[in-house]
Amino acid sequence: MTGPDHLDADRLSAPGGQPVLLVDAAGWRRPDAPIQAVVIGVDREGVLPAVEADDFDLLLTAAADAPRPWVCDADGGRLVERVRTNPFAATIAAAVLRLTEKLPLADALTVESLAYSTLLGGGEFARWRGRARTAATPVPSEPLAIARDGDRLTLTLNDPANRNAMSAPMRDALYEALANALDDPSKPDVLLRGAGKCFSTGGLLGEFGSARDLAQAHAVRSLHSCARALGALGTRGAVRLHGACVGSGIEVAAAAHWRIAAPGAWFQLPEVVMGLIPGAGGTATVARAIGRHRTLWMLLSAKRVSARQALDWGLVHAIEDSP
């Protein structure tokens, strides 16, 4: 394929009206001119051709059990429509994943937060928020339960009435507990889990878009990143995941060194549908576990990933019944 020149490349973007390219994975090479469009390579025959993965944002194949970075999903048209529906969120998601792939975790989280704050001020998120139903029961006064047994600290997300939605009080309490564990000279092991029917359905919807100062929100989000704190625990950090693990409910958990899922656990990143990208660390934590291509597939498809698929991809390390 002969690529566009630098001026013509403007059209291959959200502002230019062509935010996505669906191409033959075997015959396409990324042009020298910078393009912002999401590039989806498709292997409809399931032959898994040799490709340069860096040329693509997403690689789809008809082959079963395809190795990373391929995703077994030959229906590229559905993903194209998802990009066209929210082109700024989709192209920014792809750009952030590409940009942060080789950055240290803390730096990657900062880039994600900046992009997330940008999209909070955008029209795609405003459109979603205008039609969203955000009713929720009150947040409990102590949304995080803390227990210590010797050298083991157990932190339990404790708002089952809201399916452990990560409200601001819960995030603040979790960050404080993780920071205390990092500062504790006894260096306890930390287990994070959720009470009730699921680990967490992600951010509390009623709080989305409530920040009036997006610059301040970015600064606070970066200072009090639960994903960064959990990742900093290294081998001392573990999570047990069950039921729904949605949005920040997997973004934070993916930073843990050990990740154990119950057989019925499932995982989902719905942010692009909302006109956003992950804001709790997912473009860094999930991408480090499964690669940026598969992370983008989760974002564009918004499909549920089963515990078995999560194990195959490396999002979790084991499947065990909850003790």
Q: What distance in Å separates the CA atoms of residue 320 and residue 96, rounded to the nearest whole number?
A: 33
- Supply the mean pLDDT for the chain: 94
Tally of domains in the chain = 2
Tens digits of residue pLDDT in 157-179: 999 999 999 999 999 999 999 99
Phi, psi torsion values for 24, nearest 5 degrees: -70, 120
Report the pLDDT value the prediction gives residue 136, as an integer from 0 to 100: 65
Tens digits of residue pLDDT in 208-218: 777 788 899 89
User: Given 85, 114, 149, which residue is the final one in a domain?
Assistant: 85
Across residues 273-302, what is the average pLDDT? 97
Does residue 78 register a pLDDT over 50?
A: yes
Across residues 271-289, what is the average pLDDT? 97
- CATH code, domain with 224: 3.90.226.10
| 135 and 57 assigned to the same domain | no
2 is a domain residue:
no
| Sequence-ordered list of residues with C-beta below 8 angstroms from that of 68, at least 6 positions apart, any chain | 290, 291, 293, 294, 313, 314
Tens digits of residue pLDDT in 308-321: 999 999 999 999 98
| 271 and 129 assigned to the same domain | yes
